[in-house]
Structure 1
Amino acid sequence: MWIPLLMMAVAVSLEPFRIGMTVLAINRPRPALQLLAFLAGGFVMGTTVGVVVLFVLRPALGSAHFTLPRVQIVVGLVLLVNAALVAAGLLSRSKTTSGGLTDRIPASISGRARRLLNGGSLWTAGVAGLGIALPSIDYVAALALIVASGATAATQFGALLLFNVVAFALVEIPLLCYLVAPDRTRSMLAALYDWLRAQGRRGVAVLLAVVGCALVGVGFAGL
């Protein structure tokens, strides 16, 4: 469970939208607090959804058909489809910056949206974190993998926390780096975001495909 789970978390962490929001937060007033609010919102949403699935809906998922090999095969196939969509550009993983966000907003409300995005409200950063951690295909697949592992409740909760820590690594690391070297952190993060928008789609697609193939193979071997 652990290696596929970590690789899935790395793929999630490389979403251009997630990094784009980090770039936006670090260029707003009070950057450290903006990043912290964004990170807190993401953790609250991601952990809450995970706890509900693992410990509230868990009995409903514990049927005889919900075995680890079968879940591995299904999750692997889902990741392979996801990888194909990402590679083809049909699932662009939400490219955005502050300008990119507001460019797609109707003109009647774009001025207000720009002021909101470029303002200093910590609530905006927190809500953005909540929104970015809403359950995605990757996250649901990761939760299914954790549930099907059959590990103890404590281990499953630890796996959930670890997934979220890795998934938000490119928010956590810039936050720490900003406290030491703010200007260099801004420039390096912007460069990373530009690279991911231009080239990162292929890398994410390959990573998803590798994890998908591994899960399908392991799943069939365990039947």
Structure 2
Amino acid sequence: MWITLLAMAVAVSLEPFRIGMTVLMVNRPRPLLQLTAFLAGGFTMGIAVGMVVLFVLRPAMGSGHFTLPRVQIVVGAVLLLNAVVVASGLLEKMRGRSPAGRVERYSGAVATRTRRLLDGRSLWTAGAVGLGIALPSVDYLAVLALIVASGAAAATQIGALVVFNVVAFALVEIPLIAYLVAPGRTRSALAVVHDWLRTRRRRAVTVLLTVVGFVLLGAGVAGL
């Protein structure tokens, strides 16, 4: 469970949007407080949702069909399917069919909201963004299913949940610590990482999904 959990946590931590929001928080007024509020919001949502799901799903452990190998195989297959979709550029093609006027208006609205967010000082906004970014996604629900299906003790499952969130927010935690030592270098390094991921997003996401998918499939088949 642990290797799979850590691999998926690393994949989540490299989401371009998550890193982009970290860059934005660093460039807002009072960046240390902004990053702290952002991280606190993300942790609150991630841990709260995880605890609820873990204890709601725990009764399902008695089912013979809900086993770790089977969950790993299903999740691995879904991740590989997502990798094919990302590699084919299907999502970008679907977005490209939107009417030009609608896209332009939407882009303008996003730019306006982004400027407001960047210029704002409210820590509540940073916390709310953290809450929103940690809303349960397919990846997170898959991780929770793996934790529940592992059959580990409740304390171990809670520990796995905490470890996953710590690793998933690593690129928020590390800049928060680094900013205390070198604020300017931290901003520059984050901008470089964000630009690199943005320009190579399709390839990076495809590789991550493929690797994690095959790891899960292999672990699941070996455990049958």
Tell me the TM-score normalised to structure 1 length.
Answer: 0.88
Over 3 Å counting, the alpha-carbon distance change for 1:170 and 1:104 in structure 2 is farther
Task: State which drifts further: 179-188 or 198-207.
Answer: 198-207
Q: 1:122 maps to which residue?
A: 123
| C-alpha contact 1:117 1:124 (8 A) present in aligned 2 | no
Shift of 1:113: 6.2
Shift of 1:146: 0.6
Q: 2:5 maps to which residue?
A: 5
Percent of residue pairs identical: 74
| C-alpha contact 1:38 1:128 (8 A) present in aligned 2 | yes
Task: State which drifts further: 112-121 or 196-205.
Answer: 112-121
Structure ranking higher in helix proportion:
2
Q: Which runs of 5+ in 2 are unaligned?
A: 93-104
Q: 1:23 maps to which residue?
A: 23
Q: Which runs of 5+ in 1 are unaligned?
A: 93-102
Structure 2 Cα separation of the partners of residues 74 and 173 of structure 1: 33
Structure 2 Cα separation of the partners of residues 69 and 182 of structure 1: 45
Structure 2 Cα separation of the partners of residues 181 and 201 of structure 1: 31
Shift of 1:110: 6.6
Structure 1: 4+ residue segments shifted above 6 A? none
Q: How many residues align?
A: 213
The alignment yields a C-alpha RMSD, in angstroms, of 2.1
Over 3 Å counting, the alpha-carbon distance change for 1:110 and 1:216 in structure 2 is closer
Structure 1 Cα separation of the partners of residues 206 and 61 of structure 2: 29
Equivalence map 1:1-223=2 (5 Å): 1-60=1-60, 62-90=62-90, 104=106, 107=109, 111=112, 114-223=115-224
Over 3 Å counting, the alpha-carbon distance change for 1:63 and 1:21 in structure 2 is same
| C-alpha contact 1:19 1:193 (8 A) present in aligned 2 | yes
Over 3 Å counting, the alpha-carbon distance change for 1:89 and 1:125 in structure 2 is farther
CA distances 1:44-68 after superposition (whole Å, capped 9, x unpaired): 0000010001113321454221011
CA distances 1:21-57 after superposition (whole Å, capped 9, x unpaired): 0000000000000000000000000000100011133
